[in-house]
Amino acid sequence: MKSETLSAEDDGRGWAHWISRLRDLNYWLVRDIGGGPRPWKLAWVINFQKIGTVVFLGLLMWWYADTSSAAISTAAWVYLALHGTYGFVWLLKDLAFPDPGWQQKATIFGGLNAFLLVLGPYWVFGWLLISGTSAASYPLPEAAWFSLCIALCMLGCVLMIAADAQKFFTLRLQRALITDGVHRYVRHPNYLGEMIIYLSFALMVWHWLPALILAYVWLGIFYPNIACKELSMSRYPEWKAYTRRSWMLIPGVI
């Protein structure tokens, strides 16, 4: 939810206008809805969900241990390690180089919406797996599938951390278009890293509902942010040359 400003020629009509409206609606839902006091930063809401994940998953495993063999399966433990540890990775990132966009204060209903509409649905992943609802039948042997998910989660965490660190420390020195490092070939590696992480969680669960949740977040929240950011970055003289040798998210695809 990084706020960007559309260029004057793009704002007010067509595709850019509607993407901007969707992004502004997202902002309003998690920051301003209901008005009144603003008791919490968005960062506090996000960190609560990220760190609370390991507690939530642990409680699910305890709750379902007597009724579902899935609760104490290898898949459940691997999922606990992946999603739970990711929460600590996020907290470390927020402590070391916080995103300024998350430091904004939200209304009471805005903070609740941020949790319920954006972050809370991610907890459905773990419930599906641990409760045995998903009854996953993986395309590969379990050991190979778990290895794939672990590898994707590690790759996503490294990419997200590297991208956010590069952005934070570069922009502290100079407001400029970042075109090197992990941004050399992918213009939004932080979003790509986050998407890879949650893809690994969805693959562990192997159920249609996580796929639906990811589609909702990626298309309804991530894409408007990315598109508006692209419009904002297009004001830099080197933008056109940068786009000719880079990709929005996935090299060779998009």
For strand 40-41 and strand 105-106, is the pairing parallel, antiparallel, or unpaired? antiparallel
Q: What's the token pair of residue 54?
A: 């390991």
The pLDDT value given to residue 136: 83
Q: Residue ranges of the domains in the chain?
A: 14-244
> CA dist 73 to 77, 128, 132, 135, Å?
7, 13, 10, 12
pLDDT in tens, 210-234: 999 999 999 999 999 999 999 989 9
Looking at residue 245, its pLDDT comes to 93
User: Could you tell me what percentage of the chain is helix, strand and coil, using 3-state DSSP and rounding each to the nearest 5?
Assistant: 70, 0, 25
Supply the pTM of this predicted model.
0.91
Of the pLDDT bands very low, low, confident and very high (cuts 50, 70, 90), residue 5 is: very low
The reported pLDDT for the residue numbered 13 is: 55
Across residues 193-213, what is the average pLDDT? 97
CA pair distance 224, 232, nearest whole angstrom: 12
Residue-wise DSSP of 34-65: T-S---EEHHHHHHHHHHHHHHHHHHHHHHHT
Percentage of the chain surpassing pLDDT 70? 95
Q: Which two tokens stand for residue 167?
A: 């952005």
Identify residue 172 by its one-letter amino acid code: R
pLDDT digits (tens, 9 = 90+) for 51-99: 999 999 999 999 999 999 999 999 999 999 999 999 999 999 999 999 9
C-beta contacts of 236-243 below 8 A and 24+ residues apart: 236/176, 236/177, 238/177, 238/179, 239/177, 242/177, 242/179, 242/187, 243/187
pLDDT at 6 over 80: no
247 φ, ψ (degrees, to nearest 5): -125, 155
In angstroms, how far is CA 39 from the centroid of its own chain?
24
